[in-house]
Amino acid sequence: MVEPVSGEPVALEPMTLEDLDDVLAIERVSFQTPWSRGAFRYELTQNRVARCSVVRRGRRLVGYLCRWEIGHEIHITNLAVHPDLRRHGMARALLGAVLEDARRRGVGLAFLEVRPTNAEALGLYESFGFRVIGRRKGYYFDTGEDALVMEARLSAEPSESAAPGRPGA
Ligand SMILES: CC(C)(COP(=O)(O)OP(=O)(O)OC[C@H]1O[C@@H](n2cnc3c(N)ncnc32)[C@H](O)[C@@H]1OP(=O)(O)O)[C@@H](O)C(=O)NCCC(=O)NCCS
pLDDT digits (tens, 9 = 90+) for 118-162: 999 999 999 999 999 999 999 998 999 999 999 999 976 654 444
11-161 CATH: 3.40.630.30
**For 34-81, how does the pLDDT look when each residue is reduced to its tens digit (9 = 90+)?**
999 999 999 999 999 999 999 999 899 999 999 999 999 999 999 999
pTM of the model: 0.91
CB atoms within 10 A of CB 101: 14
Task: Give me the pLDDT at residue 164, please.
Answer: 43
Question: With a 6 A CB cut-off, is 161 part of the ligand 1 pocket?
Answer: no
Q: Is the CB of 65 under 6 A from ligand 1?
A: no
Q: Which residues pair with 109 in a beta bridge?
A: 73, 153
Residue nearest to atom 4 of ligand 1 (CA): 91
Domain locations in the chain as residue ranges: 11-161
Q: d(Cα 163, Cα 131) in Å, to the nearest integer?
A: 17
Strands, DSSP E only, in the chain?
11-14, 50-57, 60-70, 73-81, 109-114, 131-136, 147-153
